[in-house]
Homo-oligomer: A and B are copies of this chain.
Amino acid sequence: MGSTIMDVAKASGVSASTVSRVLSDHPRISTETRERVLAAVEALGYRPHSAARNLANSSTKTIGLILNAEADQFVRNPFFIGAMSGISQLAQAHDYNVMYAFNPKEKEELETAVRFVSSHAVDGIILFTSRTRDKCIQYLLKQKCPFSVIGRPDNAGNILWVDNDNFQATYQVTDLLLARGHRTIGFIGGPDDLNVSRDRYDGFRRALAVHGLHAAPAHVFCDGGFTEVYGNACMKKMLDNPDPNLPMPTAVVTADDLQAIGALQALRERRRNDVAVVGFNNTELAVYQQPALASIDVNAAQLGYHAARLLINALETSPSTEDHVIVPTNLVERDSLNVPIPAR
């Protein structure tokens, strides 16, 4: 247990530096000694001591994850674990380790970042965030610590990030609904101070505009949260709209599965099965709705994978040309889209 490079050196009759060279694939090493050294490494079960290596290299081959959400969110949102899985996959492929720290409170995020960076515990950081004016981003930029962000940051200039094309996601699904004959489509969105909310709404609106349509103000909701309660309330407002000149929506696009689930509840309560509903995030809840909820999958694992890829790339090579990745979303069709095709 715990043999050092010196043990290997002695066992193979060479010096420590030679062993080091063999292990780092140094070009000018004779095949013969290489084999002898490798044999000794094998025999002794030698593995470089990471702390010693880190110290000598001043690099840790470790990336740090800063997770920032309420505890509830973590548990409910498969996004986090999905992204962490993608990160782990890429990191292992490049011989990197991954550290993480949950930060229940916003203040702690920065503390964690400071801890990771100033103690040289990690070579780079992945931020799970899309918060406006993120303190961590400011700090990391100032420290010149390499990092990548999951979720397009406000000021994306000169920073590595990965995100979905939220505009296209709702654009496409809206376009699909239009192609299927829907002409009156509602929208339930998120708080409009978030990038994602705006992008999703814009995609919806644009798809309609291309067909020369637009949604009635009474059919558009952008002032609530990603909750069932909000989704339920919005759906009911649409169903209960008193204006006789306003046709009822035959389809509703939402910005989150929870909103969509609330909308489905409202439809069930009103005994209606003639309104198509589509969610966002494709949580595991979707499958268990009645009807099963069609939803836009964000490919969390890929988001994580590419966030790690961009970061490690930046760590290992000169400034890369690639500074962001757009991960495609894909619509998972389920029964909630199967409604009678509206008459044209």
Contact = CB atoms under 8 A, between A and B. Distances in A.
Nearest to A1: B143
Contact of A75 (B78, B102, B112): B78
A289 B89 CA distance: 34
Interface string A96-118: 01111110100000001001001
Contacts of A102: 84-85, 88-89
A50 B120 contact: yes
A88 to B, nearest CB: 4
Contacts of A135: none
Contacts of A300: 75
A228 to B, nearest CB: 9
Given A49-B119, A74-B85, A101 B100 contact: no
Contacts of A290: 290
Q: Interface centre among A45, A49, A60, A82, by most B CB within 10 Å?
A: A49
Contacts of A115: 47
A261 interface: yes
Contact of A55 (B52, B97, B100, B101): B52
Given A51-B51, A75-B85, 13 more contacts: A1-B143, A49-B120, A50-B60, A84-B102, A85-B102, A88-B100, A89-B102, A92-B112, A98-B99, A99-B99, A100-B100, A261-B288, A284-B284
Interface of A: 1-2, 45, 47-52, 54-55, 58, 60, 62, 71, 74-76, 78, 80-82, 84-85, 88-89, 92, 97-102, 104, 112, 115, 118-121, 143-144, 261, 283-285, 288-290, 300-301
The 9 closest A-B pairs by CB, nearest first: A51-B54, A47-B118, A88-B102, A51-B55, A50-B119, A75-B78, A81-B81, A50-B121, A47-B119
